Chains A and B, each alone.
Chain A
Amino acid sequence: MSYSRAFAVSAVVVVTALIAVPSVSMHSAAAATPAKAVVSHSVAPAPNGIPDTISAINAAQPLSQRVVHYEMDARLDAKKKSLDATEVLTYRNLTGRPQDTFPFHLYLNAFQPKSTFVAEARRDREIDFDFDWEKKVASEEIKSIEVEGMGDLTKQIQFIAPDDGNVDDRTVFQIKLPRPVLPGEDVKFRISFHDQFGEVVARTGYKRDFLLGGQWFPKVGVWWKDAWNCHQFHDSTEFFADFGVFDVKLTVPQNEIVGASGIEVASTNNPDGTKTVQFHGDDIHDFAWTVQPDYRVFTDTFQSSMGPVTMRLLMQPGHADQAARHMKILRQSMQRFNDWYGPYPYKQITVVDPPHGGKEAGGMEYPTFITGDTDWWQPDGLHLVEAVVEHEFGHQYWYGMVATNEFEEAWMDEGINQYTEAKVMDDVLGQDRSMVDLWGVKAGEFGVDRIGYMSQPDRDPMTRFGYKFMNFGTYGTTSYFKTATVLHTLEKVVGQDTMRRALRTYFMKYRFTHPTGEDFLKTVEEVSGQNLRWYFEQAVNGTQVLDYEILKVNSERTDWFGKNLPDEKKGVTVYHTEVTVHRKGDFIFPVDVLVRFDNGETARERWDGRDRWIRYSYDKKAKALSAEIDSERAIGLDKDEFNNSYLSQGDETGRHKLVHYWIVLQQFAGQMLAWFA
C-alpha cells in the first residue's frame, strides 16, 4: 500500500488503529521521515485492505481484530467433483515485527496415501484404514501464487512438515517474500488453485450428489506466541486460523441448492446453466459450503439478545420429517447459550444434514455453519439428533468465537463444549435421561461422559498436543470426556452458579481472540475467588486417577467383653462404630462422608483426602446403617462409584436383577443353539 493512499484514509484508520492495532504508530502527512515508532523498526502507514463490514453480524462495529480478508471466486465442476478458484488473501501484519515468510494450510492434501493423516489413521485404528484410493483421494493444488507488488512467487513454494518431518506430507507450504511485510502493513496474495474432492472422509468430500467443501482453500497460519503456528493435518487434530472477513463466490450448476458460512448476499444465473452465489462473513475464521440439488430447506428465526438470527436447515429429503426436531433443539440450545454465556452475534446459522454414506461429513462445526448426523430411524427416546446439533452449535462459542488452538489445546473447544452440551441437554431433556430414555432404559449425558473418561483415565493429560496423544482413542476420551468430567467435578469445588458465571466471563472476555488454557483456568480462579491450582495440576496437567472408597464400616457393642451380656436392644445398647475411608487413586480431592445410623441420626464429615486413609469413630446407642462418599454424586472424576458406599445390611436386589436378566438371556441363547440339534 502506498504512503499517499495511507494519508488519504489516515483519519479513519487512526481511530481503528487506536482500538485494534496497538503496535502500529501514526505517520504525519509529509511522511518524509518515518515518525517515531513504538517498535524499533520502521512501520508502514495504516492500511485499509480489510473491510469493516458488519452486514453479516448483529453489531454496530466489527467484533474481532480482523487479520485476514479472503476474497474467493470458485467454480465447481459437479461432475468431476473438482473446483477451480482464485483467492485474494489480504493479510494484515499485526505480529509486531516484519514478516517475510508465510505458511499456508493445504488441508485437502491430507487425503493421499503417504500423508501424515493417513499414516496416523492406519496406525491408530489398528485396521487397514478404509481408504479406497480410487474414490477417496483428494488434493489441493496451487497453480500460481503472486504477491501484490512482489510478483509471481509460485516457484518459491516450499512444502514443510513442521510436526513430523514427513517429506511426503503436503498439507503445509511456506513462501518467502522478496521483502518483508512491515508491522501494520497489509500484504495481498493472489492464489489460483485447483481442488479435487474425494468421496467424503474426515469432514469433507462428496457422496453421490452431495458435496461438502470444508478446509478447501489455502489458509494462512496464525502468528501465535511469537512464532508461526501452522501444523500439518493430523488424524486427531482440527484447525486454527485468524479472524477476518470472507467474501466468497461459488459458481455451481443452477439446480444446486447451496449453503455456506455467513450470509448469502447475491445469486445470479449465468447463461451457461450455472449460477453464482455470493456469500459474506464477518468476524469468522473459516468458511465452509455445501451443495446438493435436492436439499429440503427449512428456515426459522431466533431472537438473540443482539438481534434476529436466521436458522437455516438443509435436510435430506428422506429426513424432512425430522426438521422440526432439529429446529427445536437448535432453538433451545441458542436460547440457553444466549442466557447463560453470551449472545450469538451472527445473522445466520446454517445446519446441514449429510446423506447416508456421507456420515464423515456429519457432526462438524465451522463458523455459522454446522453439520448434524441422523438417519431415517431415530426414535424419540434416543437423543442422538439433539446431542449432535447441540454440540455443534456449542462450537460456535467454543471454537467459533473463542478461537482456541485446536491443534494444541483440543480440550478447550471439545471438552468445554462437551461439558456445556451436558448442561444444556440435562436442562432440556432431564438429567439421567438426556441421552437415552427408551424402553425403560435411560442414560444421562454426564453418565456417558464418565464412561468415556473411565475407559482411559490415565493415558494422556488434557494439555497434550492433539497429535501427540497415545492414539486417536485417547485423544477422544481425554479431550472430550475427561475434560467434561473435570469441569463437572469442578462444579463441586466452586459451585454450579459460579461455574456458569466463570464460563460466561471467559466467553465475554475472550471471544474473538485466541485464548490459551491458562486464560481459561485463571478466569475460573478469578470468578470463584479460589486458588484452584491444586485441582488443575492434577486434573488438567496430570494423569492422576481419582478413586476414594469406603473400606470398612463396623459397629460393635462397647460391652463386648462382659459376661452374661444382656440382649442387644435398639436405643439402649451402646455401639462403637468405625468408618474407614481409603484413597485408592493418586488424585487428592476433598470428599464428604455421610454416615447414617439406625436411629435416624446422620454424621457428615469432610476429609481433605490428602492422607491415604482416615477413620471416623462414633459411640452411639445406634448402629451404622451406611457410609457414603459424595452422596450427591458430584465428583464425576471418581472412577468407581460402586466402592463409594457401604451398606451394613446388604441389599441384593441389584445383583439379583442383573443376574436374573442374564439367566434369561442365556436361556434364550441356549434354546437358539439347541435349534441346531
Chain B
Amino acid sequence: MLNTQGLVTEGRRLVWRNQRVLWWLFAANLLLAAFGAEPLAVKLAGLTDHSVAAQRFTQGFDLTALAELLSQPGFGFGSYALSSLFCNVIFFAFTIFVTGGILESFRSSRRLTTAQFFEASGHYFWRWIRQMLLFLVVMAPVLGLGSAINSWSDTLSSDAAPEKLGFWVMLGGAVLTLLLAMIVRLWFDMAQVQIVATDQRSVVRSVGRAFKLTFSNFRALFFMYLRISLVGWTALLFGLWVWIRLIPATRFMLSFLVLELTLLTWLATRLWQRASETAWYRSYETANPPVAPVIMDAPLVYPLATSEPTETVLASEGARPAMPPEAEPQPS
C-alpha cells in the first residue's frame, strides 16, 4: 500500500488530472453566489450608484456607512440574505449530486466523458441523500458536544477566577469538536468511496464497513486527511492576510481576485481529500483483493476432447450500470 505521503501526492495528481471537476464546481459556487447576490446588487444600485456617500466604501471601508446603509427603511437585508441562502442550498444539492461523478472520476483509470460523469452522478444520488441523513444523525451529538462546551465556556468566562479559562475551554472545545467532526466526515467519505468502488446499494452496510475500515486504518487515513486540511486552512489564512495587509482598500478588484483564489484553493483541498481517499481505497483493494464466489452467467460450453482451457468469468459484488458502446472510455 502507498504510504501517507504517497497517497497525498497521488490525490493531488488525481485532482490535477480531473481539474475540470474543480472548475465546474467552482464555477457553480461562484455563479450561484453571484445569482443570489443579484437582488442585493439591484437594490444597492438605487442607493449608492449616484450617491457621493458611497465613497465611504471605496476610500477605505467605513463601518458606520455600512451600518447606515443596512438600516435604510425598507432595505430588508434579511430578504437578500435569504436569497443567498437559497442559492447556497442549491449549491449544496448540486454538490451532493456530482459527488458520485467526482468519485468515479478519481477512481477510473480513464477520463470520463461528460455523459459518463453525470450518469455516475445520478446513479449514486439517492444513496448520498440517505447517507447524508445518517451523517447528520451521527454529527448531531458531535455538534451537541460543541454547543455544550461553548455554553460551559460562557459560564467560565463570567464565573471562573482565571479570566482566560473560558476562552481556552472554548478554543479547546472548538478544536475537539472540529477533530471529531473531521473523523466523522472521514468515515462517511470512506463510505462514499466504498459505495462507488463496489456499487454497494445498502448505505447502512456501507457505513458499517467504512467504520471498520476507517478505524482499523485510522492513523494513516486521518493524518492524510488532516495534512490536506492544514493546507486548506493555511491557504485561507494566507489569503486573508494578503487581502488585509497588502492590498489597498481602493483596489477592490484585486482584493476580489485574491479572495477568489483563496476560495478556489479551499475547494481544491476538499477535492484533494476525496481523491486521496479514493487512492487509498484503490491501494487497499490491491493489497486486499475481494474474494467473491464464482457465478455462472451463461452455460459453459465444454468442447469434447479439447486441450484448450476454458475461461472462467469472475463477477464482482453488485452490478454497475452498463456503459453504452459509444460511451466506452477513450484512452487519455
Chain A residues in the interface with B (C-beta under 8 A): 208, 316, 318, 355-357, 375-377, 432, 436, 439-444, 447-448, 450-451, 454-455, 626, 628, 631, 640-648, 650-664, 666-671, 673-677
Contact = CB atoms under 8 A, between A and B. Distances in A.
A671 B266 contact: yes
B88 A670 contact: yes
6 contacts: A432-B62, A440-B244, A655-B48, A664-B259, A666-B37, A670-B88
Interface string B42-76: 00110111111111111011111111110110000
B270 to A, nearest CB: 7
B256 interface: yes
Contact of A660 (B53, B71, B135, B256): B256
A78 B66 CA distance: 49
Interface stretch (B4-12, B156-164, B290-298, B300-308): B156-164
B50 A647 contact: yes
Binding site secondary structure of chain A: mixed
B228 to A, nearest CB: 13
Interface stretch (B91-99, B110-118, B196-204, B206-214): B91-99
Given A357-B158, A450-B68, A677-B95, A442 B44 contact: no
Contacts of A448: 64
A655 B51 CA distance: 10
Contact of B33 (A455, A640, A643, A666): A666
Contacts, number: 190
Given A316-B163, A677-B92, A662 B84 contact: yes
Contact of B92 (A355, A631, A676): A676
A645 B56 CA distance: 13
Q: What 4 pairs between A and B have smallest CB-CB spacing?
A: A654-B54, A447-B64, A357-B158, A645-B52
Contacts of B71: 451, 454-455
Given A626-B52, A667-B30, 10 more contacts: A440-B60, A441-B61, A442-B60, A448-B64, A643-B51, A645-B52, A652-B45, A667-B29, A670-B33, A677-B92
Contacts of B30: 663, 667
Best-surrounded residue of B68, B159, B185, B253 (most CB of chain A within 10 A): B68
Contacts of A658: 44, 48, 57, 66
B285 interface: no
Contacts of A645: 50-53
A673 B33 CA distance: 13
B175 interface: no
Contact of A653 (B53, B58, B92): B58
Contact of A451 (B33, B68, B135): B68
B40 interface: yes
Nearest to A631: B52
A451 B67 CA distance: 7
B176 interface: no
B40 A670 contact: no
A622 B44 CA distance: 29
B53 A675 contact: no
Given A662-B40, A664-B260, A671-B270, A436 B163 contact: no
Contacts of B33: 663-664, 666-667, 670
Best-surrounded residue of B33, B158, B255 (most CB of chain A within 10 A): B33
Given A654-B57, A671-B267, A674-B95, A642 B48 contact: yes
Nearest to B52: A645
B32 to A, nearest CB: 7
A661 B256 CA distance: 7
A618 B96 CA distance: 62
B99 A677 contact: yes
A675 B266 CA distance: 11
Contact of A669 (B47, B57, B88, B162): B88
A660 B89 CA distance: 20
Contacts of A443: 62-64
Contacts of A653: 54, 57-58, 252
A318 B164 contact: yes
A661 B61 CA distance: 12
B37 A670 contact: no
A661 B128 CA distance: 32
Given A357-B159, A642-B48, A658-B57, A666 B41 contact: no
Contacts of A447: 62-65, 68
A643 B36 CA distance: 26
Nearest to A653: B58
Contacts of B260: 664, 667
Contact of A674 (B34, B87, B92): B92
Contacts of B84: 662, 666, 669
Interface string B270-297: 1000000000000000000000000000
A584 to B, nearest CB: 11
B148 interface: no
A189 B41 CA distance: 70
Contacts of B54: 642, 651, 653-655
